[in-house]
Structure 1
Amino acid sequence: MARRETALQAAQGRLMELIGTQFQPGDKLPNERELADLLEVSRATVREVLGQLAGEGVVKRTWGIGTFVNEPEGRVVPVSVGDVTALRDRITASGHRPDLQDATVSRVACPGDCAQVLGLAAGAPVWRIDRLFTVDGVPAVWLRDHLPLSVSGRDLDPSGLVSIDLDLFEFLAGATGTAVRRAEIEFSAVLADELLTERLGVPGGHPLISATQIGYGTGDTALFHGHITVRTDVLTLRIVRGG
């Protein structure tokens, strides 16, 4: 399932790039056979990708006539949270440009909500990584992650995470020798307070999605504990379930 999902994401990313560079709103796309040849995928894959893009408002499909590019105004960027993949790559796969507007790494006392998850005493020193992602230049996602200072005897140095070129999952795999094999995410709806207004550039009381994320390596060993706050007027979160 993960391999198939990755192939679909890749095909969608290539099609979004094609739409963004060679077509204008209102233009008719090539038929499925021609798109399959251009993208070097099957017609079934093209059909599924077009169905996804139609559901997201990127294109409009008219039976017997064809598929047309929609106006971009009012669209939000769909991001899948159904697999363990870098946020940067999920945004890119949707045909949009991710960037880091701000990123800091600091050493702090472990907050109470993550100490038990990480198997640490309350107040024990941990790494805190704050990152503010933009999508096409618009503040979209604020992530605050906490990591232990060491995993399985290996000291962690997450300073490289201030660059968008290094993702948290990639860093942990290289630094600990253990990939993040499972991530648990719990969502809730919140209203922007003073801090979120400053970070995400939204007015006070603006509706947002907040999530707590725990990443696990081998077995039940937690590698990080984090909080995610998302502007749903910029990003939509899509969960794909299946066997």
Structure 2
Amino acid sequence: MARRETALQAAQGRLLDLIGSEFHPGDKLPNERELADLLEVSRATVREVLGQLAAEGVVRRTWGIGTFVHEPAGRVPVAIGDVTALRDRITASGHRPALRDATVSRVACPGDCADVLGLAPGAPCWRVDRLFAVDEVPAVFIRDHLPLRVADRDLDPSGLLSIDLDMFEFLAGATGMPVRRAEIEFAAVLADEELTARLEVPAGHPLVNGTQIGYGSGDVALFHGHLTVRTDILTLKISRVG
């Protein structure tokens, strides 16, 4: 294992030297076969090294197009002490937020979400998937579940397909009940197949997962979600007042 890690580190070092001397931000790198020849390693090693560099924000990989040199986004500090749009937190740190991908679908509510939202297990609910990027690097994948109706009002979360509408803003307008309080519980996780594809990190890459519940007045649960964060892009800050 130690010998393999040393070989990978050496290959990564040679590739970083090549990027620093021959390429500029935005340049497309040679394909895996050409890089394997240049570095005198296998294509499997090149693929693993590129995955590591993509996770660190050194390169950006686009399926079917190629691998490009990318300026590291740097870490964006995100405070988890107030109910504020993620978009605004990223912007306030001097970085560019983007909604890389977003979908809204009607699904059977998972058991853990149903308990929180006061629904029967398997009852229909909305699922909203959103992938946020920081300076074009995928940084946070969020999957939220919401009831179809709140306070006798039908919810239509299709507006969340735009970065211009945040979950908290949407709920305040759609229900007349702003999110008064959000609770979040963190756990360390390793990237599975879905997160590898979403966040462009290698399998087993360490990530932070947060389970978040947003409450309106009267402690009515308005949404239940999971957000998974690349901590090489975002740092999480928790403040306690009192």
TM (normalized to structure 1)?
0.69
Residue in 2 that maps onto 1:240: 239
Classify the secondary structure of the residue corresponding to 1:115: helix
Q: Does 1:90 align with 2:97?
A: no
Classify the secondary structure of the residue corresponding to 2:94: coil
Report the number of matched residues: 172
Deviation at 1:132, TM superposition (A): 0.1
Paired amino acid for 2:231: T
Paired amino acid for 1:158: P
Classify the secondary structure of the residue corresponding to 1:160: helix
RMSD: 1.2
- Unpaired stretches in structure 1, ≥5 consecutive residues: 1-71
Deviation at 1:75, TM superposition (A): 3.4
Deviation at 1:140, TM superposition (A): 0.1
Answer whether contact 2:117 2:224 (CA < 8 A) is retained.
yes
Paired amino acid for 1:215: G
Residue in 2 that maps onto 1:209: 208
Paired amino acid for 1:151: V
Q: Could you tell me how far apart the structure 2 residues matched to 1:219 and 1:197 are?
A: 39
Paired amino acid for 1:228: L
Any residues of structure 2 matched to 1:142-153 within 5 Å, and which? 142-153=141-152
Task: Please list the CA deviations of residues 39-91 of structure 1 after superposition, one character each: whole Å capped at 9, or x if unmatched.
Answer: xxxxxxxxxxxxxxxxxxxxxxxxxxxxxxxxx96831111111001110111
Classify the secondary structure of the residue corresponding to 2:232: coil
Residue in 2 that maps onto 1:160: 159
Q: Could you tell me how far apart the structure 1 residues matched to 2:147 and 2:119 are?
A: 8
Alpha-carbon distance change, 193 to 73 in structure 1, aligned in 2, over 3 angstroms:
closer
Residue in 2 that maps onto 1:171: 170
Paired amino acid for 1:105: V
Classify the secondary structure of the residue corresponding to 2:203: coil
Any residues of structure 2 matched to 1:52-63 within 5 Å, and which? none
Q: Could you tell me how far apart the structure 2 residues matched to 1:122 and 1:167 are?
A: 27
Paired amino acid for 2:236: L
Paired amino acid for 1:135: V
Paired amino acid for 1:98: P
Answer whether contact 2:73 2:137 (CA < 8 A) is retained.
no
Residue in 1 that maps onto 2:122: 123
Residue in 1 that maps onto 2:31: none
Q: Could you tell me how far apart the structure 2 residues matched to 1:73 and 1:223 are?
A: 36
Answer whether contact 2:79 2:237 (CA < 8 A) is retained.
yes
- Unpaired stretches in structure 2, ≥5 consecutive residues: 1-70
Task: Please list the CA deviations of residues 121-169 of structure 1 after superposition, one character each: whole Å capped at 9, or x if unmatched.
Answer: 0000000000000000000000000000000100000001000000010
Answer whether contact 2:181 2:214 (CA < 8 A) is retained.
yes
Residue in 2 that maps onto 1:101: 100
TM (normalized to structure 2)?
0.70
